[in-house]
């Protein structure tokens, strides 16, 4: 079917809240390129929102899924378990830098992982409160919506959010929130809203995802660890977007050396197959009763096969080094643009998790979300898929596959530069 025919069906049958505004429909993809239903080629700088760090349809992952399809597609691991689930758990327990011996539960999505992380923290502590941060994003289920540090579009239209979720400032010095101010805000939250003795966990992203790609400093993460230890609260690190090689390490928290009690992950864990994980200290993970965690499709055989293949690809193809190298290339180009264009400011990257701000005034750091939207629209028209994000909607973020070929990378960056020249 053509793009036009598919759009007609979309308008008629897909709920407005779930329908993509994009009018091109993906037909096939390879590494960092997508071809739509009409045969048009796009360079993919979005990676399915950070899902495709090893590229569209990595051959090793495709082969692993096909092989699994010839064996078992589904049993529900709580009814009859299978090798893939326990092998993924074993691999993750050795990869994830939580305190002590790690245990694992698998789920389907990042939101499910966060929901279960909170359940586990409540069971382990006997407490109910959770503290999250401004700008954080944790999902679209009801409790994770309440955890999000941004109202629109995630909470709009859906009525009252669940209680026992409290907020603290995230340190973004560029927008006027220093590390000291963020810590003062957290301590005030503990004094005025979330009594420590009733608070199960502090949940944060080591690098804000939807909130703008701002990394938390080593010292800030160390202080969060200290505060959690002081009050007997658990530290939950959300690596759904920053994990699996995006920042040049397997997990962003590794840059700090801090060991959390629980970590969540999803997205690039299985190169597009739906899977997520909660990994935590064994005593914490074992706190809830029998059959208290799980779901019909959690850790499906095909998704587990894909996840195991992804972890092999990381070892065989040195994906972490490729992420660091990609980050260096992006940083160099961003630096040129910051000098060339008055609208570009605050270029930054942690490995290949890279971004810059679009502003109307560098002196006042005035966000320009209209330009960000125009750039993404213009880039799409020129064959490049590009995403914005951030509390002010003015951050351009880069989530292309880490495996992107240099020629494709440079072609995409050239499109951005050309679009900026035409827009400003």
Quick one: three-class SS letters along 242-290? CCCCCCCCCCHHHHCCCCCCEEEECHHHCCCCCCEEEEEEHHHHCCCCC
Average pLDDT of the chain to the nearest whole number? 97
- pLDDT score, position 359: 98
Q: Is the peptide bond before 153 cis (omega within 30 degrees of 0)?
A: yes
Going by C-alpha positions, the residue among 126, 198, 134 that lies closest to residue 169 is: 134
Neighbours of 71 (CB within 10 A): 12
Mean pLDDT of 314-341: 98
Please check whether the domain covering 62-316 is classified as CATH 3.40.50.620.
no
Compute φ and ψ for 140, nearest 5 degrees. Answer: -120, 5
If you classify domain 3-54+318-423 with CATH, what class do you get? alpha beta
- Residue whose C-alpha is closest to residue 202's, from 179, 229, 181: 229
- The Cα–Cα gap between 113 and 237 comes to 11
Q: pLDDT, tens digit, for every residue of 344-394?
A: 999 999 999 999 999 999 999 999 999 999 999 999 999 999 999 999 999
> Mapped to the 3 state alphabet, what secondary structure does 303-360 carry?
HHHHHHHHHHHHHHCCHHHHHHHHHHHHHHHHHHHHHHCCCEEEEEEECCEEEEEEEE
| pTM of the predicted structure, to 2 decimals | 0.97
HSE-CB for 222 with a 13 A CA cutoff: 7
Q: Has residue 112 got a pLDDT over 90? A: yes
Asked whether residue 212 carries a pLDDT value surpassing 90, the answer given is yes
pLDDT tens-digit readout, 10-50: 999 999 999 999 999 999 999 999 999 999 999 999 999 99
Under DSSP, the state recorded for 158 is S
Q: pLDDT value at position 154?
A: 83
Label residue 156 by pLDDT band (50, 70, 90).
confident
Q: What is the mean pLDDT of residues 138-167?
A: 91
Q: Is the pLDDT of residue 104 over 90?
A: yes
Mean pLDDT throughout 298-319?
A: 98
Element (H, E) at 227: helix 218-231
Q: What is the band of 150 on the pLDDT scale with cuts at 50, 70, 90?
A: confident
Distance CA 365, CA 343 (A): 10
Q: Residue 153: is its pLDDT beyond 90?
A: no
d(CA 244, CA 196): 32
In this predicted structure, the answer to whether residue 155 has a pLDDT above a threshold of 90 is no
Domain boundaries, the chain: 3-54+318-423, 62-316
CA angle 210, 40, 62 (to 5 degrees): 65
pLDDT at 151: 80
Cα 239 to Cα 260: distance, rounded to the nearest angstrom: 11
Q: What is the pLDDT of residues 236-267, one digit of tens each?
A: 999 999 999 999 999 999 999 999 999 999 99
Give the separation between CA 134 and CA 300, rounded to whole angstroms.
34
């Amino acid at each position: 079917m053509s793009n036009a025919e598919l759009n007609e069906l979309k308008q008629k049958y897909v709920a407005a809240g779930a329908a993509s505004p994009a009018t091109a429909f993906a037909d096939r993809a390879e590494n960092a390129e997508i071809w739509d239903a009409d045969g048009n080629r796009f360079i993919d700088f979005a990676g399915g929102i950070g899902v495709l760090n090893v590229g569209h349809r990595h051959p090793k992952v495709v082969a692993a899924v096909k092989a699994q399809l010839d064996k078992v597609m589904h049993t529900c691991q709580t009814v009859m378990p299978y090798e893939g689930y326990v092998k993924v758990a074993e691999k993750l327990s050795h990869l994830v830098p939580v305190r002590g011996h790690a245990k694992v539960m698998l789920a389907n999505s990042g939101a499910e992982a966060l929901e279960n992380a909170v359940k586990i923290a409540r069971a382990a502590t006997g407490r109910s409160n959770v503290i999250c941060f401004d700008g954080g994003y944790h999902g679209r289920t009801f409790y994770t919506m309440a955890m999000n540090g941004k109202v629109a579009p995630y909470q709009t239209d859906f009525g009252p959010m669940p209680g026992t979720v409290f907020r603290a400032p995230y340190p973004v010095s560029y927008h006027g929130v220093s590390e000291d101010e963020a810590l003062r805000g957290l301590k005030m939250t503990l004094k005025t809203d979330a009594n420590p003795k009733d608070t199960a966990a502090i949940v944060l992203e080591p690098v804000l995802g939807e909130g703008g790609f701002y990394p938390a400093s080593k010292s800030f993460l160390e202080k969060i660890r200290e505060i959690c230890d002081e009050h007997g609260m658990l530290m939950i690190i959300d690596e759904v977007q920053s994990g699996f090689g995006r920042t040049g390490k397997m997990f962003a928290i590794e840059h700090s050396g801090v060991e959390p009690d629980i970590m969540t992950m999803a997205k690039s864990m299985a190169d597009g197959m739906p899977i997520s994980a909660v990994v935590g200290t064994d005593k914490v993970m074992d706190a809830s009763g029998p059959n208290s965690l799980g779901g019909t499709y959690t850790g499906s055989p095909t998704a587990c096969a894909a996840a195991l293949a992804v972890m092999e690809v990381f070892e065989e193809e040195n994906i972490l080094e490729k992420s660091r190298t990609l980050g260096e290339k992006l940083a160099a180009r961003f630096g040129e643009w910051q000098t060339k264009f008055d609208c570009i400011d605050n270029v930054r990257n942690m490995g290949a998790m890279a971004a810059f701000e679009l502003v109307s005034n560098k002196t006042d750091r005035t966000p320009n979300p209209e330009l960000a939207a125009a750039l993404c629209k213009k880039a799409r028209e020129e064959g490049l898929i590009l995403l914005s994000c951030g509390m002010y909607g003015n951050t351009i973020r880069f989530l292309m596959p880490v495996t992107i070929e240099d020629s494709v990378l440079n072609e995409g960056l050239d499109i951005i530069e050309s679009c900026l020249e035409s827009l400003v």
